[in-house]
Structure 1
Amino acid sequence: MEDIVSSGNKGNSPHTPAVLNPAIEHHERLKVRYPVVQRPSRLDDIRDTCDICNQTLFFGHLTCRLCGTDLCPSCMEEGRQMSSACARGYDHELVLMHAFEDADYQAVRRLLQDINDGEPPPLGRQDTPQSVGRFDVATDPRSLTYASFLRFFDAGIPVVVSGLNPGEDSLTPAAFIRRHGKLEVDLVDTATDQALPGKFALDDYLTSFSQNLLSSRKLKLKDFPSSQHFRSADGDQLDAYVNLLPAPAITTESGRLNTLANMPHGSVPPDAGPKGYFAHGYDDPEQGTTTRLHQDVGDAVNVQTWSAPDAYALWYIFNPDQRDELRRLLVELGIAKRRGWDGDGDPIHCQQVCLKPEDIETLGRHGIQVHVIEQRVGDAVFIPAGAPHQVTNVGGSMIKIATDFVFPSHVPIVLQVSLELRQHRLDLASAHDEPVTGDEVIPIVAAAYWTALRLSKFSSSFQPAPDSEPMTSNLAATPMNMPLLVGKCSACVLARHSVSLQQTDPVIPASSPTAVQPPAPARTPSPVETQPPPNDTATTAMAPLTGKSNTRKRKKARHAKQRAETDPTFRMHPCPAHGCTSSYHADGLLNHLINRDKHSERWTSQEKSELKQLRARLTTGEAEGNVLTALKALVG
Structure 2
Amino acid sequence: MCHQCQRSDKEKVVRCCCRKRFCVPCIQRWYPRLSEEAIAETCPYCRGNCNCKACLRRNDIIKVGNGSYGSPESKDEKIQHFKYLVHALYPFLEQFDHDQTREKKIEAEIQGLPPSEVEIQQAGCYNDERVYCNNCRTSIVDFHRSCPNCSYDLCLTCCWEIRNGCLRGGVIPCPPKEMGGCGHDLLELKCMFPESWVSELQKKVKKIVKTYELADLNKISTQQCSCFKSNGKIDIGNGKLRKSASRKDSEDNYLYCPSASDIRQGDLEHFQSHWIRGEPVIVSNVHEFTSGLSWEPMVMWRAFREIKYTKGSSDLVVKATDCLDCCEVEINIHQFFTGYSEGRSHRNSWPEMLKLKDWPPSNLFEERLPRHGAEFVSALPYLEYTHPCSGILNVASKLPTDSLKPDLGPKTYIAYGFSEELGRGDSVTKLHCDMSDAVNVLMHTAEVTYAPWQLSKIKKLQKKHSAQDQEELFGIVHIDNQEAENHVPESNGKFKSERANPSSCGEDYCAEQGEFSGGPNAVSENRLHGLETAEGGAVWDIFRRPDVPKLQEYLRKHHREFRHICCCPVEQVVDPIHDQTFYLNLYHKRKLKEEFGVEPWTFVQELGEAVFIPAGCPHQVRNLKSCIKVALDFVSPENIGECIRLTEEFRILPENHRAKEDKLEVKKMSLHALSKVVDDLEKLTR
Cα drift, residue 240 of structure 1: 0.6
Give the alignment of 1:174-193 within 5 angstroms.
174-181=298-305, 182-193=315-326
With over 3 angstroms needed to count, the CA separation of the structure-2 counterparts of 1:20 and 1:184, relative to structure 1, is farther
Contact 2:268 2:382 in 1 (8 A): yes
1:137 maps to which residue?
Answer: 260
**Deviation larger for 149-158 or 379-388:** 149-158
Q: Residue 71 of structure 1: SS of its match in structure 2? A: strand
2:598 maps to which residue?
Answer: 368
Q: 2:159 aligns with which of 65, 76, 81?
A: 76
Q: Residue 135 of structure 1: SS of its match in structure 2? A: coil
Cα drift, residue 403 of structure 1: 0.1
With over 3 angstroms needed to count, the CA separation of the structure-2 counterparts of 1:299 and 1:41, relative to structure 1, is farther
Q: Residue 358 of structure 2: SS of its match in structure 1? A: strand
Give the alignment of 1:57-136 within 5 angstroms.
57-79=140-162, 83-84=175-176, 90-101=183-194, 104-114=197-207, 122=216, 123-126=219-222, 127=224, 130=252, 131-136=254-259
- The one-letter code of the counterpart of 2:547 is Q
- The one-letter code of the counterpart of 1:98 is C
**1:422-471: CA deviation from partner (whole Å, max 9, x where unpaired):** 22235x66xxxxxx9841121011011111111222225xxxxxxxxxxx
Contact 1:252 1:258 in 2 (8 A): yes
TM-score, normalized by length of structure 2? 0.59
Q: 1:393 aligns with which of 620, 623, 631?
A: 623
Aligned residue pairs total 441
Q: 2:681 aligns with which of 455, 459, 463?
A: 459
Mapped pair 1:338 → 2:562: yes
Q: 2:435 aligns with which of 283, 292, 297?
A: 297
Mapped pair 1:45 → 2:45: no
Cα drift, residue 87 of structure 1: 7.7
Paired with 1:451 and 1:83, the residues of 2 have a C-alpha distance of: 35
2:401 maps to which residue?
Answer: 265
**1:338-390: CA deviation from partner (whole Å, max 9, x where unpaired):** 35443231011000001111222222332324111201210101101101000
With over 3 angstroms needed to count, the CA separation of the structure-2 counterparts of 1:410 and 1:258, relative to structure 1, is same
Q: 2:353 aligns with which of 213, 218, 238?
A: 218
2:336 maps to which residue?
Answer: 205
2:97 maps to which residue?
Answer: 24
Paired with 1:299 and 1:50, the residues of 2 have a C-alpha distance of: 25
Cα drift, residue 101 of structure 1: 3.2
Q: 1:328 aligns with which of 553, 559, 565?
A: 553
With over 3 angstroms needed to count, the CA separation of the structure-2 counterparts of 1:74 and 1:150, relative to structure 1, is same
**1:32-85: CA deviation from partner (whole Å, max 9, x where unpaired):** 444755338855311001112211101332111111111112222222986336
With over 3 angstroms needed to count, the CA separation of the structure-2 counterparts of 1:70 and 1:343, relative to structure 1, is same
Contact 1:292 1:390 in 2 (8 A): yes
With over 3 angstroms needed to count, the CA separation of the structure-2 counterparts of 1:220 and 1:458, relative to structure 1, is same
With over 3 angstroms needed to count, the CA separation of the structure-2 counterparts of 1:120 and 1:13, relative to structure 1, is closer
With over 3 angstroms needed to count, the CA separation of the structure-2 counterparts of 1:72 and 1:152, relative to structure 1, is same
**Deviation larger for 280-289 or 117-126:** 117-126
Q: 1:379 aligns with which of 585, 609, 613?
A: 609
Paired with 1:190 and 1:144, the residues of 2 have a C-alpha distance of: 41
Q: Residue 382 of structure 1: SS of its match in structure 2? A: strand
Cα drift, residue 28 of structure 1: 2.3
Q: 2:283 aligns with which of 161, 182, 188?
A: 161
Paired with 1:315 and 1:278, the residues of 2 have a C-alpha distance of: 16
- Aligned CA RMSD, in angstroms, stands at 3.0
Paired with 2:662 and 2:398, the residues of 1 have a C-alpha distance of: 18
**1:534-559: CA deviation from partner (whole Å, max 9, x where unpaired):** xxxxxxxxxxxxxxxxxxxxxxxxxx
Cα drift, residue 157 of structure 1: 0.5
Q: Residue 243 of structure 1: SS of its match in structure 2? A: helix
Contact 1:425 1:437 in 2 (8 A): no
Cα drift, residue 305 of structure 1: 0.5
With over 3 angstroms needed to count, the CA separation of the structure-2 counterparts of 1:285 and 1:191, relative to structure 1, is same
- The one-letter code of the counterpart of 2:401 is H
Cα drift, residue 226 of structure 1: 2.4
With over 3 angstroms needed to count, the CA separation of the structure-2 counterparts of 1:89 and 1:350, relative to structure 1, is closer
Contact 1:41 1:100 in 2 (8 A): no
Mapped pair 1:522 → 2:684: yes
With over 3 angstroms needed to count, the CA separation of the structure-2 counterparts of 1:111 and 1:323, relative to structure 1, is farther
- The one-letter code of the counterpart of 2:684 is A
1:15 maps to which residue?
Answer: 88
Paired with 2:418 and 2:318, the residues of 1 have a C-alpha distance of: 22
- The one-letter code of the counterpart of 1:136 is S
Paired with 2:399 and 2:181, the residues of 1 have a C-alpha distance of: 37
Paired with 2:193 and 2:86, the residues of 1 have a C-alpha distance of: 28
1:414 maps to which residue?
Answer: 643
Paired with 2:185 and 2:612, the residues of 1 have a C-alpha distance of: 47
Paired with 1:320 and 1:144, the residues of 2 have a C-alpha distance of: 28
Contact 1:172 1:305 in 2 (8 A): no
1:313 maps to which residue?
Answer: 538
Cα drift, residue 168 of structure 1: 4.7
Cα drift, residue 147 of structure 1: 1.7
Paired with 1:178 and 1:313, the residues of 2 have a C-alpha distance of: 26
Q: Which runs of 5+ in 2 are unaligned?
A: 1-84, 108-117, 166-171, 226-250, 306-314, 448-533, 565-569
Paired with 1:264 and 1:29, the residues of 2 have a C-alpha distance of: 28
With over 3 angstroms needed to count, the CA separation of the structure-2 counterparts of 1:36 and 1:195, relative to structure 1, is farther
Cα drift, residue 201 of structure 1: 2.9
With over 3 angstroms needed to count, the CA separation of the structure-2 counterparts of 1:142 and 1:458, relative to structure 1, is closer
Contact 1:364 1:370 in 2 (8 A): no
With over 3 angstroms needed to count, the CA separation of the structure-2 counterparts of 1:184 and 1:228, relative to structure 1, is farther
TM-score, normalized by length of structure 1? 0.64
- The one-letter code of the counterpart of 1:327 is Q
Cα drift, residue 142 of structure 1: 6.3
Q: Residue 667 of structure 2: SS of its match in structure 1? A: helix
Paired with 2:604 and 2:96, the residues of 1 have a C-alpha distance of: 41
Cα drift, residue 121 of structure 1: 5.3
Paired with 1:83 and 1:437, the residues of 2 have a C-alpha distance of: 25
**1:564-588: CA deviation from partner (whole Å, max 9, x where unpaired):** xxxxxxxxxxxxxxxxxxxxxxxxx
**1:197-235: CA deviation from partner (whole Å, max 9, x where unpaired):** xx4332221121112245732110111222624212222
Mapped pair 1:278 → 2:351: no
Q: Which runs of 5+ in 1 are unaligned?
A: 1-11, 430-435, 461-520, 525-636
Cα drift, residue 89 of structure 1: 5.4
Q: Residue 150 of structure 1: SS of its match in structure 2? A: helix
Q: Residue 612 of structure 2: SS of its match in structure 1? A: strand
Paired with 1:57 and 1:207, the residues of 2 have a C-alpha distance of: 46
Contact 2:221 2:276 in 1 (8 A): no
